[in-house]
Each structure stands twice: as structure tokens, then as C-alpha cells.
Chain A
Amino acid sequence: MKKKFKMTDIDCANCAAKMEDAVKKIPGVEDAVISFMTQKLTLVAPEEDMDRILDEAQKICRKIEPDVTIVRK
């Protein structure tokens, strides 16, 4: 399933690229794109894993840029 999430406070484009790379490596993630310009995360993953993946993604992104938040709907 493909889902989009808004992200806040991504300050540097390089960090966005690093986050994208890291999120892609989370088990269960089929594809992930972080757009620095629109500050959006597009995640392709099985629906039942979505919550777990988001938790992990949030943690990973925080490691790269401490202020980043993934907004969940």
C-alpha cells in the first residue's frame, strides 16, 4: 500500500536524501521517497506494518535531523 505523510522541519536537502536511504532499509519497506521540496514522505509498505515502520522511520529521521517529525493522519 502506498501512503503519503507530511514531514516538518527538514532543513537540509542532503539530510532528506540520507533519511530516504535509511527509511528504505527498514524491513518491510518496499519503497520510500522523501521530497525535500514538498516535505513529504511517500511510503510503500504492507498496511499491517505501516505503524511499526512509521515508528522506526521517525526514530531514524530524528537521528539524522533532531527536529524532524513525521505527521500522522
Chain B
Amino acid sequence: MTKKQKRLFIQILIGAVCFGAGYLVPEAGPWKLIIYLAAYLAVGGEIVLRAFRGIINGQIFDENFLMTVATVGAFFLGDYPEGVAVMLFYQVGELFQSYAVGKSRQSISSLMDIRPDYVNIEQDGELVRVDPDDVEVGQIITVKPGERVPLDGIVLEGRAMLDTAALTGESVPREIVPGQNIMSGCIDTNGLLKIQVTAEADESTVAKILELVENASSKKSHSEQFITRFARWYTPLVTVGAVALAVIPSLFDGMWAMWTKRALTFLVISCPCALVISVPLSFFGGIGAASKLGVLVKGSNYLEQLSRIKIAVFDKTGTLTKGVFDVTSVDPVGVSADTLLETTALAESFSDHPISVSLKKAWGKPLDSSVVSDYETLTGQGVRAVIGEKVVHVGNAKLMETLGTSYTQASGIGTIVYVDIDGTYAGSITISDQIKPTAAEAIRELKEQGVAQTVMLTGDTRKVADAVGASLGIDTVCAELLPAMKVDEVEKLLETRPAGSQLAFVGDGINDAPVLMRADIGIAMGGVGSDAAIEAADVVIMDDNPERIATAMKVSAKTRRIVTENIWFALGIKAMFLILGAFGIATMWDAVFADVGVSIIAILNAMRMLSVKTFTKPSDARTVSRTEAEA
């Protein structure tokens, strides 16, 4: 507990003891009043003081003032215990509220506890710890096993398995080797790494993520705006209602004491705090939970809208597919697969074309290009080279036709290269962009979350696009689009979406910033590295897994459910007690219990958002246990 909370706790204790003592004093008389007054001042003196200060500062309708009027009124009517009890329970509620909010702040900052405290730097042969802010770009830092990588950089020496869970929500460790970029916030699980820093502390991945999450709660959701507007009217209205209830009926029947007492009950229920606090608390928890799962949501408003997505538009390359071209099939004819692959890779070894790069990668062994001679590019068809003694032609179907080689049309989807060795057909190799392993599941989960239409936009050929679309179960495929046409397609789709629903565009942040901005919700994938993506998108998915979109929608749906529950529950109970109070059925006791109870229940309900477990799939748990078993 903080100092302030402790003070409040002691005040409540003293108040409660005096309150109990009040019961022991047998008959009515000055002693009873004195003890109850002592209890009242102990527990509520501060509130009364604040109420006076509020009046001086022109803040008439604040809850301090209303509580003061209600309790002082009770004293004047001779209901000492009620006066004390209302103040006592009100303060218990305040204490609980402040404690709960502090707790959830803490648990969110521990969710996001990725800010580094120190950096190891070698000075005169010894490692010293320095402040991350003092490290400059280009300096070399050391990360020991078990430590968190404090700054972004390039690995110079050492290999290690990195735990990136804090950044991406992904539990499988990733290997890092010299020459690779390393992101701050990962944990080095087993190796000693020397890293050359590429960004200062303020610019590091960690700093960007924290900034994003902290700023998120300043973009308020509709529910938050509704509730603050509501609170502005609610308290004055209830107060006016109380005055009316005290005066109007009394003019007719003259029972001033009874009506005043009922009016005071009104005032007890006038504090809108439960509502005003539980809504932002839920969103804050939801944003925290999402970031723990590897999804950065840039505002409460976006978190609120995510579950309303009805049209999900995807970019193909890099979003649903890996965006990396790989050899997916080697179909040799009359030679071994290895010979075919090696010969092709050798023939293409002088080219930097993505296709040659993927061929070299698929071969995976060093190539002795000294055996290659007479290399020649045949524009629009392929290449010709002499390898050893053999004349090799590698290229498309047109090349085979020109050569007059009889070849078999390969059935694969992607780019197909045919190979002719010394005038004989030797087979074909298919190179294609691979679909991400989770993509089909991701589309299925989106449907489960209520997405009515899935659309894929791509600049790729119709044949490739249709094949990808069909294997993923995508409803509409728009192929052969130029980058600018993607915006037009999204504009068209925006017009068709039903009122109140949202259109999301999911891209990798490269070349599609305008589309990300045009969509209702722009979702960028694997975007922590790219500033443009972070800037343009509303939601950033930190790893490459499209399944996270459905996860984010689930977080959104749960947040909205909790917010709705809280609003209706709190409003319902308050309305009920206002009515019961007006008819004299609910006493001040009941009212204060109801009010504090509603606050506590609403806050507890909002705090459910902090638990992330419900969103992780059993498959994630399996991966964890498998890696543990391997370790």
C-alpha cells in the first residue's frame, strides 16, 4: 500500500472502532453523539474538508460535497449511525478502488517490463554496467546469458537462442548468429553475445513499444467518452432530483423529515465513480493483455472496434505468404535431383535474380563456379552456360520450345524453370512463395470471430493468386493489381460494408502504408522493425503470425463484453436504488452498500482483463512444453 492508502486505512480503522463503541453506549444522550462524531471526523473529516475547498473553488457537484451533505443531513435528523456508516463504507470503497487501480497498473507495467536497467560495456578489459541512455550508436555492448538485450544492434560475435516472447508473444526460441540484427527486449537464453549498437535507447524497439502502449489509453473509446459525458450530467441530475424529492412532496403532506431522509439516500447513490473507473480500467487491461500476446493496439478506440471487423482485406506477399521465394519442388527426368539442382544453381550462379538466389539457397552447399564458362542471358527466356563439358539451358517453357526440347508441363504453382542438358530434357524446378503455416487457420479463426468476408489483394498473377486464395479459403481474390489500385479496391469495399461494422486491412507495412491508413483499422504484420508500419497502422502485430488478428479480436470482444456488463450493471443497480430510495424502501444503509458494492464488483470485473491465459490456444502450450522437453 502507498502512504496515502495506509493513512486512509488507519482512518477507517479508527472510525470503525469508534463506530463500534457507539453501539456500546447504552442510552441516547450527549455521549452517543460525541462518540459518533469522533468516528465521523476520523473517517470522513478529510472528505468534509475537501467539500469546503471544492465549494470555494467552484466545484459544487463533486462527490465529496454530496457525501458531506448526505452524512451531515443524517446527523441533523438524529440518525448518527447512518451518517457514520455511509462515510465509513464510502471510504472503504475508495480505499479498495485505489488499491485495485494501483495493482492493475503494476501488473500491466510488469507485463510490459522490458525496459533495460543497464548495459554491459567493456572498458580496459573489464565489463562495466552503464545506463542505456549513455550508450551511443556504433558502440559495442556485451549481453550475457540470461540477460535481456538492452539495445537494438547487429551481432558481431557469438550465437544464442533468443526468447522473444516479450516482444512477439511467440514462445519458441529463435536462433541468432553473427551478422544478424537483434532487437532490444529479447532475452538471451544461453550464449555470450557482442553487439554493435544501431539505435540509441530512445529509438530502440523497446522504447517504441512502451511509448505505443502508454499512449494507447489517451485515444479514448466511444464507451469512455459516453461514460464521461454521462457522469457530467448524472451527478447534477441526481442532486436536483434529491432536492425535488425533499421539497415537493413535503409541501403537500408536511412530512419534511421523512422526505429529507429519502432525499439523502439519493445523494449516497449519486457518485458515478464505479462507472467512470471501470471503463478505462477494462480498456487499459485489454491493451496490456493484447501487448502481452504480441499485438500492439494503438488506442482504446481501436481495441473497441476490432471485434466489429466484418471485412478483412489481406495483402498476399509477406502477410499470408512468407514473402520469401523458395524451391518448392524438384522434378528431375533421367538425372538425380541433386544433379539437377546443382547444375541449375551453377548455371544461374552469375545472376542476382531472386530466382537464382533461391536456387543457390536450396542447393545449400558451396558452388564451384570455375567450371562454368560461356555464360549468356537469353532475354525473356532464361540462361545458357557451359558447365564442364555440357551445354546447359535453364529457363521458361518458351525457351524449351525455342530449343525444340520435349518437356513436360509442370503442375506446380509459382515460377517454373525447365532445364535442358546437352539437348536432353532434365526436368523442372518449381520456385514459389510459401504460404505461412498458420495462414489457413488464421482465416478460419477470423470467420469464427464473425468476419463475414475475407479478401486478398495482390499484384501477383491470377493463377498464383487463385491457388493461394483457394488453399486458404479466402472469399474474394483480386489479382494483378498495381499498388495504387489496392487503395481503390479498399475504397470500393468500404462502401459495401454494413453500417457499424469495420473494415480491416492487413499488410506488412512495406508499400501499403496508404491502404493501411485508408482502412478503418490498419493492421501491420511483423512491423516492429519498420517505422513506416508503426506510423501508418492502428494495430501492429509483432511477429509474422496472421492468427494474432483473431486473438486481438477475442481480446477486443472480451473487453467490450466487460465494459457493457459494467455499464448496465452499475446503471441498473443505481436506478433501482434511486427508485427504492424514493419510495422509502431502501434506507441509507442499503444505498451505501449498493454503491460501494457496485464499485467493487465493477472493478473486479474489469480486472479480469488482466488475465491473458484465456486467449492463448492449447497449441501454444504444446509448443512451450515441447521446447522445454527439448531443453
Contact = CB atoms under 8 A, between A and B. Distances in A.
Given A35-B218, A40-B214, A64 B280 contact: no
B231 A64 contact: no
Contacts of A63: 57-59
Contacts of B284: 37-38
A66 B4 CA distance: 13
A64 B162 CA distance: 49
Nearest to B228: A17
A13 B57 contact: no
Of A11, A17, A18, A36, chain B has the most CB atoms within 10 Å of the CB of A17
Interface of A: 9, 11-15, 17-18, 33, 35-38, 40, 42, 63-64, 66-67
Interface in B188-220: 214-215, 217-218, 220
Secondary structure of the A contact surface, majority rule: mixed
Contacts of B101: 37
A13 B228 CA distance: 9
Contact of A14 (B63, B94, B215, B217): B63
Interface stretch (B271-279, B324-332, B569-577): B271-279
Contacts of B104: 37
B98 A13 contact: no
A9 B277 contact: no
Given A9-B4, A66-B50, A36 B277 contact: yes
B222 interface: no
Secondary structure of the B contact surface, majority rule: helix
Of B53, B58, B232, B280, chain A has the most CB atoms within 10 Å of the CB of B280
Interface size class of chain B, counting residues whose CB lies under 8 Å from the partner chain = 20 to 34
B279 to A, nearest CB: 8
Contacts of A15: 62
A9 B277 CA distance: 15
Contact of B217 (A12, A17, A35, A64): A35
Contacts of B232: 17
B281 interface: yes
A40 B219 CA distance: 13
B277 A12 contact: yes
A36 B280 contact: yes
A13 B280 contact: yes
Contacts of B57: 63-64
Nearest to B101: A37
Given A14-B272, A15-B62, A66-B50, 12 more contacts: A9-B4, A11-B94, A13-B273, A14-B63, A18-B59, A33-B220, A35-B218, A37-B104, A38-B218, A38-B284, A40-B214, A42-B218
A66 B53 contact: yes
